[in-house]
Amino acid sequence: MTQNTLDTRITEPSATADETEMLLFCLERARAQFAWKVGGLDADALRRPFPPSAMTLGGLVKHLALVEEMKMAEFVDGEHLTEPWRQEHFQADPEWDWHSAASDTPEELYALWQRAVARSRAGWAAALARGGLDQPSLFTTDSGWSPNLRRVLVDLIDEYCRHTGHADLFREAVDGLVGEDPPQAS
């Protein structure tokens, strides 16, 4: 294992938190759980597949970085994706985010995810300050429908929940780490 640690702090909301605060808490808790399950690993552990799946913990890190970036670009802030998310990568390999993670160092993977999370936090804060969860997202379907930001936020939480479950099983296979929430400082 390595010293690549990720932030796993969970800050509880007030007992009377509103919907927005609770949904953002849910996202932050899911991020902390994910960070705990994938953090501190060396390259071999991050690249290890878990047959019959070809998924790896490193692939999960890179995939969730992409998900964070894409939600912002397509639904929330409209800013174009930057490196390393070039379209030609995905044209050559639609699952490039998963496959290319094997070539990345733990430091690169963790930094990529942390940058995506920082962008997402800032983007959500700005968007919610402009009008809350009921406002339509930037994405419009072919039929002219735009999901509201509530739907986009719930979909992001769902993506973390699904993949944190994968990471939970994979991490247990790597070094026996089990549990629901990361240990918190007293």
Give the mean model confidence (pLDDT) for residues 90-116: 95
State the CATH number of the domain containing residue 140. 1.20.120.450
Give the mean model confidence (pLDDT) for residues 60-65: 98
10 in a structural domain: no
Give the mean model confidence (pLDDT) for residues 157-172: 97
pLDDT tier, 86 (very low <50, low <70, confident <90, very high otherwise): confident
13 in a structural domain: no
58 in a structural domain: yes
* Rounded-to-integer distance, Cα 112 and Cα 82, Å: 11
Distances (CA, A) of 44 to 49, 54, 104, 123, 182: 10, 14, 11, 33, 22
**Number of structural domains the chain divides into:** 1
Report the residue count for the chain. 186
Task: Give the phi and the psi of residue 169 in degrees, each rounded to 5.
Answer: -70, -45
Q: Is the pLDDT of residue 144 over 90?
A: yes
* Rounded-to-integer distance, Cα 47 and Cα 55, Å: 9
169 in a structural domain: yes
* Rounded-to-integer distance, Cα 41 and Cα 183, Å: 17
pLDDT tier, 80 (very low <50, low <70, confident <90, very high otherwise): confident
In degrees to the nearest 10, what's the CA dihedral of 142, 146, 147, 148? 170
* Rounded-to-integer distance, Cα 46 and Cα 61, Å: 9
Domain that holds residue 151: 20-175
pLDDT at 4: 61
Q: Is the pLDDT of residue 5 over 80?
A: no
49 in a structural domain: yes
Q: Which amino acid is at 66?
A: L
Question: In 3D, which of 87, 69, 89 has the Cα closest to residue 79?
Answer: 69
11 in a structural domain: no
185 in a structural domain: no
* Rounded-to-integer distance, Cα 16 and Cα 31, Å: 22
* Rounded-to-integer distance, Cα 152 and Cα 21, Å: 15
- CB distance 30 to 157 below 8 Å: yes
34 in a structural domain: yes
Q: Is the pLDDT of residue 2 over 60?
A: no
Q: Is the pLDDT of residue 84 over 90?
A: yes
